[in-house]
Amino acid sequence: MATEAPPPPRKGTETDTGPAGPTTEQFVEVQRSEEFGELRRTYRSFAFPLTVAFITWYLLYVLLSNYAGGFMGIRLFGNINMALVLGLGQFATTFLIAWLYSRHAALRLDPKGEAIKARMEGDA
């Protein structure tokens, strides 16, 4: 015999799993707060310049590969040429940026985000 499941709880109502979450108005209030603005500025001041720098570095590699074959073919030692070294540099910078962002987030973004989250959950 099939039984029909009860409808899911509506947003903003209390359920068996805990109290209701923050309201839309509370989210908008937090978004307009100076604390949230500071969190966003901290993120942007790190992410945007690093993104521009990496895209520039990547496009430089692509352009050199297409239009500077003589330069990219320079042998540095043995069979290792400039193209290989710069190509491996792409991988190295990708991992470096990921590590730097992880460290930046843990030190500067996560504490601010957790403070905002705790305050919102406390108000709900």
Q: Which helix (H) or strand (E) holds 81?
A: strand 80-81
In this predicted model, what pLDDT tens digit does every residue of 48-107 receive, in sequence order? 999 999 999 999 999 999 999 999 999 999 999 999 999 999 999 999 999 999 999 999
Helices and strands in the chain: count of H runs, count of E runs = 5, 2
Pick the closest to residue 68 from 86, 51, 55, 47 (CA basis).
Answer: 86
CA distance 23 to 20: 9
Residue 113 backbone zone (phi > 0: left; psi -120 to 50: alpha; other: beta): alpha
pTM for the full model?
A: 0.72
